Chains A and B, each alone.
Chain A
Amino acid sequence: MIRFYHVYQSYQKDVFALSDISFTINPGEFIFLTGPSGAGKTTLLKLIIREEVPKKGQILVNGQNVSSIPVSKIPRLRRSIGVVFQDFKLIRSKTVFENVTFVLKTLGIDLKERRRRAHNVLKMVGLQHKTHFYPLELSGGEQQRVAVARAIVNDPVLLLADEPTGNLDPDRAADIMALFEKINRKGTTVLVATHDRDMIQRMRKRVISLTAGRLDHDSGSQVQVEES
């Protein structure tokens, strides 16, 4: 599903946010990406959705080389990936419903169907009663859950979540992780970046850990599927 091959990324000359990263994630896996803040977790996720282009190395996502795909193919790539951004990235001038269903609207899905799907995912994150609120009328934790709802509304093949429980109390956090597991069981590959050690220990999943831009530990794949 995802393969990094000697990937380097830097923002300033000779200061590498990521250096020599190689790993393979098989379809259907559930992985934690961990490491102290500043380790390069967000940067790694940005490379996967081609928000950034690596300085060196190759990245394959769902069979496509994202470091060299044409710009015109980027939207389709991103639509196949659900992302919970660390800073949520909700559109302030749109309601929760509009935020969650924006991409569905561009795909020509009619209002009735959009309502149905939005209702489903908002219920999963416990926000069905805030459908017509604007992001700024919600708490940080609620905004984060809207971001989760938006990430899963289009049944992505890959779900990326950047500190998705950072603003949630432990019970809510556990709910969201349970939701991710459920989605994972339905076949979606899930990659969660977090520095929450307790959660990682509780969940017993594959862990890839970064330190200062280097991959220092990979607990190894538990799902054995060959990627063609």
Chain B
Amino acid sequence: MYTELLKLCGFEPDEIKRERPRVDRAFAKLGLDEEDFRRGEWRLKEYLDIELLGLRKFLGIWMRELVNLVLAREEHDKIVYSDFPMELRPLMSMMLSTDEKEVYFGVPGQIINMTMGQIFDKITPYIEVGEESGMPPGAAHCALYQTRLGAMVKGVIPFPDLSVIASYHCDQPAEAEELLHEVYGVPVAYLDSCSDPNWGDWPKFNDSRVRYCSSQASRMFRMFEEIIGCQMTEEAIRTANRSNAIFRLTFQALIELIGHADPQPISQASLAHAFFLNSMPTRDIEGKQQALEILAEEVKQRVERGEGILEKGAPGVFCTATISVDPSITRMIERTGLAIRIQIPNWLSPWVLTKHPYREWSDMIGVGPCLDIPHSCEAHCLINLENCKAFNVDGAINFYPYSCREWVPTVIITKRMIEKELGIPVLVLEGDCYDTRNYSAGQLRTRVETFAELVKAHKAAKAA
């Protein structure tokens, strides 16, 4: 039933055979049927550059994680969850300090989004249960957290023995986890920081902010060790740090290659599967790195051959729509003739890569929120602007997720900054990265098409 689908997701025939009993059990629990598999196949072919082996390997990583997640209680003694915006390094260091057989470690919200959303378009039932379970509709709660709550309450995925959550960057994860704790008794370890730099401070940050977050990282690690019954190891920390750095640098080179290529070599919707692995812990470190390197090589070859998904000379835009549950909006934007040079902004600004003086593991975690978008609203807006400059775009689509309290304040400030400094058109689009019920590609198309005409005219006028 699902053989073809798994092949599209990079599974080899012998793996499909070997894994069939597990996949059967997981898919049955998820309520996936023939129609879903057909829809999944169609979506992969319709929206992604599915002929690329690197992408198929990424899809395989997500699909395996989905099966592991659903079967976690049957197969492991202990379960630890996290989710966005928790950084990958602390998660990986905790995960790698545990025995693979004993402890399952995952980010259920993201895994469900990237599979049940992206591939099967079947995310809504989870959101609806989340809405009935303490995160009601109409209140702009984050659908990522509604989804994971809904999946637990529905019994499709187990409740964890521990949740580790970042309470900086946005308030919602911690609010949702307090609910999980109060209503379902799940212990939660928080990584706290304060987003309090003054306007004009970016990219500076103060030591006390780092130290505070560092103290919370130590506390989180201690709680993890106590509840899971393990010891964080130096080796796990080193591996987490190194593998993360290598993946990010390779990813950085890839997005620069894509962003500067003309024509645009692959869809940004395809790249999303690699992008979200920047925050999904997996024990398959080698497989993940290998997938990225294969993808990078494939993209390089396309660029060298002058191949792409759009015509050469298409106007380029910066676009913040990285929608993890639905590739169709990104594809719709590209199909209006706009090359998305850079998204989200996932290009790391030079400041993010700057060396800092912290060497203790907890301090290195503590400095994380000071270096990038979580630094402040000002940082978020200026990084958007820098992304536009770095890729010399002709316009920007500032897609903002309904429900995201972190993102919302940056929307109009970013628009004004880009318009003022670069003199290019900016479209503000309201949508949702995690919930497809209220916003669809079809509904947004007319506005994007009109905007595309504007950008094209703007580019032509500039060239004349």
The yes or no verdict on A and B being binding partners is no
What is B's interface to A at a CB cutoff of 8 Å? none
What is A's interface to B at a CB cutoff of 8 Å? none
